[in-house]
């Protein structure tokens, strides 16, 4: 078989493996609680706070969609015209320099287009009291984010175009294996190397809450390395907790804002939800799905890159040429927009399972409901967002869906 035929075969096998794995591991059957229960939960929320949350999201919404449109337009212009190739050419003649610096230049151009919207968004979240950051702190975090993205992006670009340079016919096979391995590696190292760049983590002081959280994890059969407190208050008033890492890097992380805003029982309820992700190996499942999906995406790029029409539009001869970085960006952007709603749907099902796990573990649906009410109120979440928007973008069930699920659980328990 030719390399293209092998690539088609490999893509079919990867997609079949991805579908089979997702079918086995994703809780597809977890539908939201009945709508009547959701409306009853909505009616019990403070009307003024609901109105304020909806106004907050109404002010953010135009900027969010404008940023999406600008990002898509920039990617299409840079990828489907010779402009992207010309930008890459500005960085020199050496293929590796073009691959790294040219790729970063293309990304910087798209980021600069949406930077004014990010600045405007910060003014809104500050005005509503969600952000506690000064402009200096906000700019510092943005620069850190760009730096981390540049390092990771530079490594990926250098690796990708090194393979295309030295194995022009079979780069798709080496690239698919490499990107799958990178996804797995990052799942282990990101919590240890990247999270401390943005937050300071300190061990939770000895006391009843720390003891209860560790005992909760032990009772759940989920080994954790430590219980840490993140200094989230330096940038936000939002409350949260999570379990991050795999194996030896796993730890429970609690925002310091949660320790001041929530009761100890509510902190335990959120931690039980996060332990549910660890119990069901959701991080590992997501890592495997991500690795299979990334490998399939590399092969799909190889196959799409053989279309002469696309190459002519981009002004390049091969998608393995660093001058085709704009075309790669355009294809990746479109694929991300198409896949986004499916990823959000899967995430909502996984989060609903973790909610049920929290109530099973604590046996306290009332506290779970109270915690969801607090999370929604403090974080200014729209408790019942427009259905289409929720379906397209939401990674978690809505506040009223989670409150209604708690009530349904309590009824079943009684």
The residues carrying an active-site annotation are 274, 355
- Report the DSSP beta bridge partners of residue 236: 131
Cα–Cα distances in Å, from 359 out to 87, 276, 369?
54, 10, 10
Q: Are residues 256 and 233 in contact, defined by beta-carbon separation less than 8 angstroms?
A: yes
Cα–Cα distances in Å, from 10 out to 7, 22, 68, 292, 303?
5, 18, 32, 11, 11
Rg (CA), the chain: 23
Q: Are residues 384 and 398 in contact, defined by beta-carbon separation less than 8 angstroms?
A: yes
Q: HSE on the CB side for 106, CA within 13 Å? A: 31
Rounded to an integer, what distance in angstroms lies between the CA atom of residue 22 and that of residue 14? 12
CA-nearest of 299, 322, 191 to 248 is: 191
Tell me if 165 is assigned to a ligand binding site.
no
Rounded to an integer, what distance in angstroms lies between the CA atom of residue 243 and that of residue 269? 13
Tell me if 277 is assigned to a ligand binding site.
yes
- Residues with Cβ within 8 Å of 143's Cβ and at least 6 positions away in sequence, in order, are none
- Residues with Cβ within 8 Å of 73's Cβ and at least 6 positions away in sequence, in order, are none
Q: Are residues 126 and 133 in contact, defined by beta-carbon separation less than 8 angstroms?
A: yes
Tell me if 215 is assigned to a ligand binding site.
no
| Binding site members for Zn(2+) | 273, 277, 351
Binding-site residues sit at 273, 277, 351
């Amino acid at each position: 078989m030719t390399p293209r035929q092998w690539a088609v075969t490999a893509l079919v096998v990867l997609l079949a493996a991805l579908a089979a794995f997702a079918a086995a591991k994703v809780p597809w059957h977890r539908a939201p609680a009945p709508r009547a229960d959701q409306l009853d939960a909505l009616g019990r929320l403070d009307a003024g706070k609901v109105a304020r949350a909806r106004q907050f999201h109404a002010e953010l919404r135009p900027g969010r969609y404008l940023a999406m449109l600008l990002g898509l337009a920039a990617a299409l212009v840079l990828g489907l015209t010779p402009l992207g190739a010309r930008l890459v050419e500005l960085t020199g003649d050496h293929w590796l320099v073009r691959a790294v610096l040219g790729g970063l230049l293309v990304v910087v151009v798209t980021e600069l287009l949406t930077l004014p919207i990010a600045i405007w968004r910060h003014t809104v979240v500050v005005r509503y009291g969600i952000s506690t950051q000064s402009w200096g702190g906000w700019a510092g975090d943005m620069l850190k984010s760009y730096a981390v993205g540049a390092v990771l992006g530079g490594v990926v670009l250098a690796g990708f175009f090194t393979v295309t340079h030295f194995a022009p016919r079979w780069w798709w096979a080496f690239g698919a294996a490499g990107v799958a391995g990178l996804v797995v590696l990052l799942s282990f190292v990101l919590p240890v190397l990247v999270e401390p760049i943005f937050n300071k983590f300190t061990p939770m002081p000895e006391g009843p809450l720390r003891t209860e959280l560790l005992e909760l994890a032990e009772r759940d059969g989920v080994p954790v390395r430590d219980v840490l407190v993140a200094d989230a208050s330096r940038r936000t008033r939002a409350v949260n907790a999570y379990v991050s890492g795999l194996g030896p890097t796993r730890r429970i992380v609690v925002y310091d804002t949660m320790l001041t805003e929530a009761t100890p029982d509510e902190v335990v309820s959120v931690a039980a939800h996060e332990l549910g992700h660890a119990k069901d190996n959701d991080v590992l499942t997501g890592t495997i799905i991500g690795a299979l999906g990334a490998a399939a995406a590399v092969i799909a790029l190889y196959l799409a890159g053989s279309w002469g029409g696309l190459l002519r539009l981009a002004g390049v001869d091969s998608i393995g040429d660093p001058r085709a970085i704009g075309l790669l960006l355009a294809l990746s952007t479109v694929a991300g927009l198409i896949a986004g709603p499916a990823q959000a749907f899967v995430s909502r099902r996984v989060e609903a399972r973790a909610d049920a796990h929290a109530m099973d573990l604590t046996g306290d649906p009332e506290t779970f409901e109270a915690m969801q009410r607090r999370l929604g109120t403090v974080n200014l979440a729209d408790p019942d967002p427009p259905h289409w928007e929720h379906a397209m973008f939401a990674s978690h069930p809505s506040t009223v869906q989670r409150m209604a699920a708690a009530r349904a659980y309590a009824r079943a328990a009684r």
